[in-house]
């Protein structure tokens, strides 16, 4: 029996889902667009379904941030040596600081049977797209405009003038990439947090339902596949 490549691909990806759980969710978008607020709302509403991939960063903690909650705060030497030892899925330099997702951060969430949520920048998205390890859903959150983003960043009062300018520069490039058709499964303009959250929630919940259905039906197809390929 001959199976098409797409059958093989979908069967293998369904098998991964059965093995590793649901597809992770990547939230990307310029600093200050409100990703953290959207993620917090998702966790508040569905705490048993989602878990946060806690990134490492070399930037200093902001007031109220705790090590091991928002980030693992580290230094450049330590982080670079962990990257060199292959412990990271992706890493990037953003506004002069290093950020990265360790393999462990994602595994911790997946082991708990939850959908892993990653808050990463465009450089991280591009690296993850080159691998088959995660196969996540990609959501881009964009501000209504750069001037609105600048206003929000200034109101947040967490940046120096220099780091604010770096973030605005990065934002322009990120929006360009985010708006290119095909780069993300969903693009949300965050002009109103309740509306933006509803879009995110509806997308994620329907995707989980779809994957549940796919998982059940493709367990059978996977068994057909391994017999046909005489893998057992
Ligand atoms: P912030 O300093 O405002 O917390 O984050 C700055 C930017 O770094 C945000 O756009 C955020 O999405 C991104 N970021 C946070 N963690 C990671 C990570 O692990 N990898 C990458 N590539 N970007 C990250």
Homologous superfamily assigned to 2-53+115-231 = P-loop containing nucleotide triphosphate hydrolases (3.40.50.300)
Question: Model confidence at 217, in pLDDT bands (50, 70, 90)?
Answer: low
The pTM for the full model equals 0.86
Furthest-apart CA atoms within the chain: distance in Å: 64
- What is the CA(174)–ligand 1 centre distance, in A? 12
172-176: Cβ within 8 A, 24+ apart? 172/146, 173/122, 174/28, 174/29, 174/30, 174/121, 174/122, 175/30, 175/142, 175/143, 175/146
Task: Please give the Cα distance from 182 to 111 (Å, whole number).
Answer: 30
Question: Model confidence at 166, in pLDDT bands (50, 70, 90)?
Answer: very high
Helix axes 161-179, 146-156, angle to 10 degrees: 140
For the chain, the average pLDDT equals 88
The residue whose CA is least distant from atom 12 of ligand 1 is 120
Compute CA distances 91 → 76, 80, 122, 131, whole Å.
12, 10, 11, 13
pLDDT of residue 79: 98
Residue among 27, 73, 94, 131 whose CB has most ligand 1 atoms within 8 A, to mutate? 94
The residue whose CA is least distant from atom 6 of ligand 1 is 31
Task: Please give the Cα distance from 11 to 201 (Å, whole number).
Answer: 27
Average pLDDT value for residue range 108-128: 96
Task: Please give the Cα distance from 183 to 175 (Å, whole number).
Answer: 11
Phi-psi sector, 69: left (phi>0), alpha (psi -120 to 50), beta: alpha
Q: Which residues form the pocket of ligand 1, taking CB atoms under 6 Å from any ligand atom?
A: 31, 55, 59, 90, 92, 94, 99-101, 119-121, 123-124
Nearest C-alpha neighbor of 7 from the set 232, 222, 227: 222
Residue among 34, 82, 124 whose CB has most ligand 1 atoms within 8 A, to mutate? 124
Q: Where are the domains of the chain?
A: 2-53+115-231
- What is the CA(120)–ligand 1 centre distance, in A? 5
For 197-210, the pLDDT digits (tens) are 999 999 999 998 89
CA dihedral 204, 206, 211, 214 (to 10 degrees): -160
> Cβ distance 100 to 55 under 8 Å?
yes
Task: Please give the Cα distance from 124 to 136 (Å, whole number).
Answer: 12
Say which residues have a Cβ less than 8 Å from residue 81's Cβ, sequence separation at least 6. Answer: none
Average pLDDT value for residue range 56-70: 96
- What is the CA(99)–ligand 1 centre distance, in A? 6
> Cβ distance 93 to 80 under 8 Å?
no
> Cβ distance 110 to 116 under 8 Å?
yes
Active site residues: 62, 156, 167
- What is the CA(147)–ligand 1 centre distance, in A? 21
Question: Model confidence at 216, in pLDDT bands (50, 70, 90)?
Answer: low
């Amino acid at each position: 029996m001959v199976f098409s490549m797409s059958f093989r691909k979908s069967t293998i990806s369904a098998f991964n889902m059965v093995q590793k759980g649901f597809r992770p969710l990547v939230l990307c978008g310029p600093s200050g667009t409100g990703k953290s607020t959207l993620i917090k709302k998702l966790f508040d509403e569905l705490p048993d379904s989602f878990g946060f991939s806690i990134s490492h960063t070399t930037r200093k903690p902001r007031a109220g941030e705790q090590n091991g909650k928002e980030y693992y705060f580290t230094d450049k030497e330590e982080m670079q040596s962990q990257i060199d030892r292959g412990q990271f899925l992706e890493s990037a330099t953003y506004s002069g600081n290093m950020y990265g997702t360790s393999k462990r951060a994602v595994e911790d969430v997946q082991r708990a049977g939850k959908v892993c949520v990653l808050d990463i920048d465009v450089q991280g998205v591009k690296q993850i797209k080159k691998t088959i390890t995660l196969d996540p859903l990609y959501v881009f959150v964009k501000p209504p405009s750069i001037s609105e983003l600048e206003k929000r960043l200034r109101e947040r009062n967490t940046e120096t003038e220099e780091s604010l300018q770096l973030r605005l520069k990065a934002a322009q490039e990120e929006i360009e990439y985010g708006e290119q058709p095909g780069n993300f499964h969903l693009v949300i303009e965050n002009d109103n947090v309740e509306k933006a959250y509803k879009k995110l929630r509806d997308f994620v919940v329907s995707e989980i339902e779809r994957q549940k259905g796919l998982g059940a039906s493709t367990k059978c197809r996977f068994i057909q596949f391994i017999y046909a390929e005489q893998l057992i």
